[in-house]
Amino acid sequence: MTTALRRYPVLIALCVAALFMTVPFLIVALNAVKSPAEYAQNGPLSLPEGFYTDGVRDFWERVDFGRKLVNSVLISGSVAVLAVVLSVLNAYAIGIGRVRGRTWVLAFFVLANVLPQEALVYPVYYLSKEVGLYDTRLSVIIVFTVIQAAFGTYLLASVLGQFPREIVEAARIDGATKWQVLWRIVVPVSRPTLGVLLVFFFIWTWNEFLLPLVMLISNDNQTVSVALGVLQGQRLMDATMTNAAALLGLLPALVFFLLFQRTLTRGIAVGAVK
Amino acid sequence: MTVTVERGAAAGAKRPAGRSRHRPRRPGDSYALFLLPGALAFLAVVVVPFLMNTGVSFTDWQGVGSPEWSGLANYRELVGDEDFWASFRHSLFMVVAMAAVPTALGLVLAAALFDFVGKHFGGRVTAVLRACFYLPQVLPIAVAGIVWSWILAPENGSLNELLKAVGLGGWQQDWLGDPDLALYTVMAVMVWVQLGFPLVVFMAGLQRVDPALYEAAELDGAGWWRRFLHITLPQIRPEIHVVLLWCTIAALKVFGAVYVLTKGGPGGATDVPSYFSFTTFFEKTQVGYGAAISTVLTVLVLALALVGLKLQERTDR
């Protein structure tokens, strides 16, 4: 009895803390469906009287949100796939091939990922103008493929370092080329880790801000994050529109989260152990 | 199938030392080719721009025309630039908000969720609570910025309205617009953003810990706090190192949050090196000076990363 009495206060405290973490999401959702008149009258904390969707619709049309979604999906999706492929190639050479000087190669990749993007941003901006890639989605895809693959290489190299050597050796003795070993054995066996990387790369690229902000200046090429960040910076929005923007911005994130919760936690576990 | 076995056996017979650690290297038979695409892309996107940036930091350049060599002039100017020092001081505040506080809170929360809620209330409750804490981590920082700058708005902001509603109207503030307060407000938002990461890493780490350790300690009469100090903390030390390192680096590099919440203001009160270099590049178009700022930041981050990697190597062993 006494233990039961002592248990609940802790649980309640944790629930209150969890509520505090999620409250901003709730207020945004509440206010995104209020009309401006209602907001002006009752303030941000009241419950909505009706279900007002014009704010969301206006905002969607005003920023051409569908287009931004397409851009974000296109960029993040391409980066995720390309970066996983690049990571696998690198990690295959390092983890299974055990190429000479692999510690150094690995260190270089880690440092590339750790490097502040500010130290790359101006030259990347300048070079992309020189080669005609400035303000193209392709430029952002190329840059993030390399940056994400740097992390992917670091993680995968250690995973592949523990890959059962007998399987690789047996296949080699059977006459499989390295290329075949990679695609028919190593990749299928490592699929869970690759899936985790794919999800991470997608979400990280989706959330990236600085480089897309610099590289994608035209409205037609901007990602969701940049479009929202720039609007916010201009402080042109009224309260209803701000909430519409916030709601539309957080919905995709919420969807990823619900879809990939297990992958995310598993991925963090994989990443942390190394 | 038999053919394979035979060939395998034959190959095994041909190389008596084949089982040893070093596999024989046939000429032209190297895995290095697989590194080629990665190495080339890496060169073009990271190495060349990084070297260019470092080079530019020794020049006087407005982004147009040709850069003029000016040696250490930019760095000498940095030393006397109060804005530069202020931005690095703010970085230390960010380290507290994004690394120290989330790690400490994350440890207590992870232990409470794992060792207490998980045991007494089951995995479902634990998973839901963990999800709530992790949620802000998946949000684009631009969206988090929109949400919070609206909640913290001086007029009609939810926080101020809430204070009024509970009779604490006197505590209302211009949270992001007051130079004395803005940095602390940004810090609070960053704790909210960052907390989920250490929590989830620590909870994953705790799954490695042998439950027998806790049971034995409990039988010996050790309370929750003692178990936390003597079992949880030492057992997940590798995770603590990794989290502290990554979060500190993230704190030094923080950009999006400052851009969206305050634009470094009011009056530079929340400026950080990355935002400072960004505005120097693209608003003041002092490219050489901006490059010098980002070079200093890079040296700092890389030094930290190297020390961190060394420490990690040592604890791994």
What is the interface pTM, i.e. ipTM, of the complex? 0.85
pLDDT interval class at B21 (50, 70, 90): very low
pTM for this prediction? 0.85
Residue A122 has pLDDT above 90, yes or no: yes
For testing the chain A interface, which of B34, B246, B249, B289 should be mutated: the one with the most A CBs within 10 Å? B34
Give residue-wise pLDDT tens across range B267-303: 889 999 999 999 999 998 899 999 999 999 999 999 9
Burial A226-261 (b: 16+ CB within 10 A, else e): bbbbbbbeeeebebbbbbbbbbbbbebbeebbeebb
Give residue-wise pLDDT tens across range B238-276: 889 888 988 999 999 999 899 989 888 788 899 999 999
The residue count for chain B: 317
Taking CA atoms, what residue in A is nearest to B273?
A118
The lowest-confidence range among A167-171, B68-72, B312-316 is B312-316
Q: How far is A175 from chain B (nearest CA, A)?
A: 9
Taking CA atoms, what residue in B is nearest to A123?
B49
What is the mean pLDDT of the segment spanning A1-12?
Answer: 69
B242 neighbors B312 (Cβ within 8 angstroms): yes
Percent of chain A at pLDDT above 70?
92
pLDDT value of residue A107: 85
3-class secondary structure, B69: strand
**A14 interfaces chain B, CB cutoff of 8 Å:** yes
What is the mean pLDDT of the segment spanning A188-196?
Answer: 86
DSSP-assigned states of every residue in A258-271? HHHHHHHHHHHHHH
Residue A49 has pLDDT above 80, yes or no: no
pLDDT value of residue A274: 43
Measuring CA to CA, which residue among B304, B302, B163, B160 is closest to residue B244? Answer: B304
pLDDT interval class at A271 (50, 70, 90): low
Q: How far is B313 from chain A (nearest CA, A)?
A: 10
Measuring CA to CA, which residue among B32, B17, B12 is closest to residue A172? Answer: B12
Residue B14 has pLDDT above 50, yes or no: no
pLDDT value of residue A4: 58
Residue entry with tokens 């209020």:
A34
pLDDT interval class at A192 (50, 70, 90): confident
B175 neighbors B157 (Cβ within 8 angstroms): yes
3-class secondary structure, B71: coil
Whether the CA torsion B117, B120, B122, B124 is positive or negative: it is negative
User: pLDDT: is B50 or A2 the higher one?
Assistant: B50
The lowest-confidence range among A30-34, A108-112, A262-266 is A262-266
The lowest-confidence range among A6-10, A90-94, B159-163 is A6-10
| Mean pLDDT, all residues of chain A | 85
Residue B309 has pLDDT above 60, yes or no: yes
Measuring CA to CA, which residue among B117, B280, B98 is closest to residue B193? Answer: B98
Running DSSP on this structure, what letter comes out for residue A222? -
Give residue-wise pLDDT tens across range B26-59: 444 588 889 999 999 999 999 999 999 999 999 9
What is the mean pLDDT of the segment spanning A57-65?
Answer: 85
Residue A189 has pLDDT above 80, yes or no: yes
The lowest-confidence range among A66-75, B148-157, B252-261 is B148-157
Query: Between the ranges A166-170, A264-268, B169-173, where is the mean pLDDT highest?
Result: A166-170
Burial B208-242 (b: 16+ CB within 10 A, else e): ebeeeebeebeeeebebeebbeebbeebbebbbbb
pLDDT interval class at B178 (50, 70, 90): confident
Q: How far is B283 from chain A (nearest CA, A)?
A: 12
pLDDT interval class at B18 (50, 70, 90): very low
**Backbone torsions φ then ψ of B263, nearest 5 degrees:** 50, 40
CA A216/CA A235 separation, integer angstroms: 20
Chain A environment of B46 (Cβ under 8 Å): 112, 115, 120, 146-147, 150
Residue A175 has pLDDT above 60, yes or no: yes
CA A92/CA B297 separation, integer angstroms: 33
**B138 interfaces chain A, CB cutoff of 8 Å:** yes
CA A208/CA A226 separation, integer angstroms: 8
Bridge partners of residue B59, in order along the sequence: B69
What is the mean pLDDT of the segment spanning B150-173?
Answer: 83
CA B232/CA B108 separation, integer angstroms: 10
Residue B139, burial from CB neighbour count under 10 angstroms (0-12, 13-18, 19+): buried
Check CB contact under 8 Å for A122 and B192.
no
